[in-house]
A and B are shown apart, each in its own frame.
Chain A
């Protein structure tokens, strides 16, 4: 997905190096002319917040689950609903890698097929939620006065009203709620946090000079928001998207587990519902209840890794603080004693000029 980000070799322009005026800050191939921004480099900088170890690890795990969801039909050894009365409650074996259920269904196949529902609902809900969050957040951050306050109050109402009980009630209205509907409800309930964060950031962007400069140049409103502001909000939008995916996946599996949405297609929560109802937890049938739970946890870890990476991109202090402290430790200093540690040097040269200019 992101392997092509750094590939600019095809677009390297052929002119001679001009380094007379610029002290090159270019790291990749210093000394040559600058790269012309192409579609790929632009895409690369739009995804700059993912260019760190944590985000890449998280994206890899997530990518793995996405692939499993896409190729579930090929990967699953059995049909998830194939009943085999000769093989009930079987622990893992060569035939059934993750054992079987109370009616002899293959747990591995159920987990593989269950990935699909989780991924689809997670992403769909996040797309819906993020779209609402961008619209409400950016508008309420850009406009002033009662409109801004009104949208902010609306956001806070959605933040404060407990979402899960509301979903339980709404979902109970339908006998067989389709996945899209569940995703929509999860999305409509989960946009508020993202909108809040985006509003705050838009407010601070609005007063920045480059936005003022664009306004003074007569840029139309839609261009100011879409072309000048939105690219600078990308990291936060990504973070809020990732956060909503996590929330939606936890919401879906929770609702499936407590049986509020008896989804006909399998997801990890449904498997746990069956396992719970058949007493797998009390009879130590770990092969039945461990894999779905671990999958949820793994996808959760992947998403938090991505968000850690974005966090450090947005707020470099988070990353540098630990590194700096470790570096100081190597020199035998304690971060929290910086002042005392340096004091001998200062007392040795009392004539040191004070730098308070």
Chain B
């Protein structure tokens, strides 16, 4: 069992003409393989910054990220092998795939970069991954992103994230840009994959209902600070922090919606 530690991370951006922005303030949590952690907060609370730091697109101002007890190297092979262990699914499937390249290319690149399979098995592996996310390989492999629907694209993005066989997956609002009718399908797919591959998932969302349903543990973030954390049911049903309480009253009552499949996803914002 692997452990990813996010330890006392503070991130400060300097913005021209506007001084400094403290996007994250002393945030700590751990991800465990085989577990899903929900990260809840309104837009601007620092959720995306956490995703960027986890994927090493940004570096923390203070604090550090550790995988298996070892800090992440800044560059070179060490960074590459860390990135191979942690992949991300972006929020907007219309923006996260390069419009110029085919679906097959998108899945094939991480396989090549990390030498996951020998060259002659590349094509088979791409098809296997597409099948894994319930896409018909023959139909989509040579298409361009704009020829697919939003849900199909997000499945491609998930397949791409799985290609390097990571232990951890960051899903940054993976369904908020999708039609309400297909959100649940994508989330269930993520949940299935998480179970079958034993992934540690960080599920970033502003939707309390799905966070509770899919996460083991929930962290609530407000203005760059962790205001509440605990087992999913505790945080959602018995929130201690006033911010979480406000968040809860502002969103549709999770219990009322839990009965129907489509109702779950109709979050606010």
Contact = CB atoms under 8 A, between A and B. Distances in A.
A344 interface: no
A209 interface: yes
B148 interface: yes
Nearest to B139: A18
A169 interface: no
Given A37-B142, A218-B83, A232-B99, A209 B90 contact: yes
A45 B100 contact: yes
A153 to B, nearest CB: 16
Interface string A7-48: 000000001001111110110000001111100000001000
Interface stretch (B29-37, B62-70, B109-117, B239-247): B109-117
B43 interface: no
A221 to B, nearest CB: 11
Contacts of B147: 22, 25-26, 34
Contacts of A19: 139
A15 B175 CA distance: 33
Contacts of A15: 138
Contact of B80 (A21, A26, A218, A232): A218
Secondary structure of the A contact surface, majority rule:
loop
Contact of B84 (A23, A37, A218, A232): A218
Residues of A in contact with B, size category: 20 to 34
Nearest to B90: A209
Contact of B152 (A22, A209, A212): A22
B149 A23 contact: yes
Contact of B142 (A20, A34, A209, A218): A34
A214 interface: yes
A34 B102 CA distance: 12
A21 B182 CA distance: 14
Contact of B83 (A23, A26, A45, A217): A217
Rank and list the top 8 A-B pairs by shortest CB-CB distance, nearest first.
A209-B96, A231-B100, A209-B95, A216-B55, A18-B139, A210-B98, A209-B90, A21-B136
16 contacts: A18-B139, A20-B139, A21-B139, A23-B149, A34-B139, A210-B97, A212-B52, A215-B57, A216-B88, A217-B109, A217-B160, A218-B83, A219-B109, A219-B113, A231-B101, A232-B98
